[in-house]
Amino acid sequence: MAMHPSTRRSPSRYLLMLVSLLTLVGILGGCGASSTAGPSHPGGSTPTSTPTRELKGTISEFPLPAPNLYPGGITAGPDGNLWFTENVSNGCQSGKIGRITPAGKISEFPLPTPQTQPFGFITGPDGNLWFTESACAKGQSGKIGRITPSGTISEFSLSSNGNPGDITTGPDHAIWFTESGNNNQNDKIGRITTAGAISEFPLPAPQTHLYGITTGSDGNLWFIGFTGNNVPKGVIWRITPAGKISAFPLSPGYYSFGITSGPDGNLWYPEADLDGFNNKIGRITPAGKISEFPVPNRLSSVNGIIAESDGNLWFTEDELNHSQNGKIGRITPMGKISEFPLPNPHTVPGGITSGPDGKIWFTEMNSNKIGRLS
């Protein structure tokens, strides 16, 4: 899931609330699945149908060791476990990196720097895990963190007092990340080598606000966010290894905060209108052609999205007023959506990843748990 620290301006009051929740940080039960096929806008690629994994829809939940913790990003580690970020739900306190085994055993590793909070999370090309750290104390710089599978943490400070957000492994085997600039005006794309050397690339347009980033099947980096403060406009950008940037506007009145590379060679992302309603799953080809698939409930908010080895994409979804169950969603490359409700109401699923056990793992941001769907 790719969203950004709460120090920036956002295009809606709802997005600001959700971003703040993530920054403060994304039982056995049988769940039925409902399906719908959303209409596609002209111009998208024509994916082939892929077989859907047969799921029972069984959701397991694993409580974190202490109360008032907000787990956010989650990724599959090189050691066969799942790793996630977690933050205290109140105050500017140091966050932790968590690890959960497929059997549900949880370990925690506190960050060494006070008043920093982990956010985006990936497994790097060097066999370690990499994450972004947002500074919640005034005057601090954000950092890029690295943790070994044994739990040793290293930190690399940014030079510009910016706060990093989402993170990905680039085609050059370096780590790339989005970075919010000072005064919420000029965001950057950052790059760090596995040895810790950092480079930063300002975007040419002012008032650019970045959220998610991923590496496309075309060997370029793709990132997403919006431009403008008073009248925000959702945009997808593409940057080549040579530094050439192209922009692809979203549908008028829509924004997005996350993006992932799909199994069909396209890029996929969640999007919503400026009031946080009418959520859709969007798809953009490497050539820039966009298709959109509305989620079944217009009040649902799509948080994280990933590609899975079954040839589909999976996403986390919660109701706008949190009065109904959150859901784990699946969308095929053809646009058919299935949903699996979580067993408890008022649950906000956030980050999501494919586990080494072939199951879907996710964080429950407001209920202090890690979830698993099998």
Whether 292 has a pLDDT exceeding 80, the answer reads yes
* Cα–Cα dist 220/150, whole Å: 32
What per-residue confidence (pLDDT) applies to 161? 72
* Cα–Cα dist 70/272, whole Å: 23
What per-residue confidence (pLDDT) applies to 185? 59
Task: Please report, rounded to a whole number, the percentage of residues in the chain having pLDDT higher than 90.
Answer: 52
**Mean pLDDT over all residues of the chain?**
82
Whether 372 has a pLDDT exceeding 80, the answer reads yes
Sketch the domain layout of the chain as residue ranges. Answer: 13-373
According to DSSP, the β-strands at 349-354 and 267-273 are unpaired
Whether 39 has a pLDDT exceeding 80, the answer reads no
Separation of CA 100 from chain center: 19
Whether 44 has a pLDDT exceeding 70, the answer reads no
CA end-to-end span of the chain:
20
What per-residue confidence (pLDDT) applies to 298? 81
Contact 69, 84 (CB under 8 A): no
Cβ neighbours of residue 91 under 8 Å, at least 6 residues apart? none
Q: What is the mean pLDDT of residues 350-363?
A: 93
Q: What is the mean pLDDT of residues 73-85?
A: 96
Whether 89 has a pLDDT exceeding 90, the answer reads no
* Cα–Cα dist 167/92, whole Å: 22
Classify the phi-psi angles of 196: left when phi > 0, otherwise alpha if psi is within -120 to 50, otherwise beta: left
* Cα–Cα dist 237/210, whole Å: 10
Whether 36 has a pLDDT exceeding 80, the answer reads no
* Cα–Cα dist 312/333, whole Å: 6
What per-residue confidence (pLDDT) applies to 249? 95
Whether 58 has a pLDDT exceeding 50, the answer reads yes
- The b-or-e profile of 254-282 (16+ CB within 10 A means b, else e) is bbbbbbbbbbbebbbbbbbbbebebbbbb
What per-residue confidence (pLDDT) applies to 135? 86
Amino acid 138 reads K
Give the DSSP letter of residue 186.
B
Contact 136, 92 (CB under 8 A): yes
Q: What is the mean pLDDT of residues 306-325?
A: 81
- Given the structure tokens 């959960």, which residue do they identify? 100
In this predicted structure, which of 30-39, 169-178, 210-219, 282-291 has the lowest mean pLDDT? 30-39
Whether 31 has a pLDDT exceeding 70, the answer reads no
- Given the structure tokens 């599959």, which residue do they identify? 76
Q: What is the mean pLDDT of residues 131-152?
A: 90
> Alpha helix locations (H) across the chain?
13-24
The strand pairing partners of 272, in sequence order, are: 255
Backbone angles phi, psi at 182, to 5 degrees: -65, 145
Contact 84, 73 (CB under 8 A): yes
Q: What is the mean pLDDT of residues 301-314?
A: 90
Q: What is the mean pLDDT of residues 356-365?
A: 92
* Cα–Cα dist 33/337, whole Å: 10
* Per-residue tokens: 36: 């719908």
* Cα–Cα dist 120/133, whole Å: 8
Confidence (pTM): 0.85
**Measured on CA atoms in the order 84, 113, 196, 171, is the torsion positive or negative?**
positive
What per-residue confidence (pLDDT) applies to 63? 95
Whether 145 has a pLDDT exceeding 90, the answer reads yes
- With bands split at pLDDT 50, 70 and 90, how would you rate the model's confidence at 320? low
Whether 143 has a pLDDT exceeding 70, the answer reads yes
* Cα–Cα dist 77/128, whole Å: 8
Q: What is the mean pLDDT of residues 321-347?
A: 86
Kindly report, residue by residue over 167-220, the tens digit of the pLDDT: 999 999 999 999 986 555 578 899 999 999 999 888 877 778 889 999 999 999
Amino acid 362 reads F
- Burial level of 218, CB count in 10 A (0-12/13-18/19+)? middle
What per-residue confidence (pLDDT) applies to 53? 54
What per-residue confidence (pLDDT) applies to 322? 52
Contact 123, 78 (CB under 8 A): yes
What per-residue confidence (pLDDT) applies to 61? 96
Whether 9 has a pLDDT exceeding 70, the answer reads no
What per-residue confidence (pLDDT) applies to 340? 93
What per-residue confidence (pLDDT) applies to 34? 36
Q: For the domain bounded by 13-373, which CATH number is listed?
A: 2.130.10.10
Q: To the nearest 5 percent, what fractions of the chain are helix, strand and coil?
A: 5, 50, 45
Say which residue, 101 or 38, is predicted with more confidence.
101
Whether 14 has a pLDDT exceeding 80, the answer reads no
- With bands split at pLDDT 50, 70 and 90, how would you rate the model's confidence at 12? very low
Whether 24 has a pLDDT exceeding 80, the answer reads no
What per-residue confidence (pLDDT) applies to 164? 92
- Given the structure tokens 């960050």, which residue do they identify? 111
Q: What is the mean pLDDT of residues 306-322?
A: 83
Amino acid 283 reads R
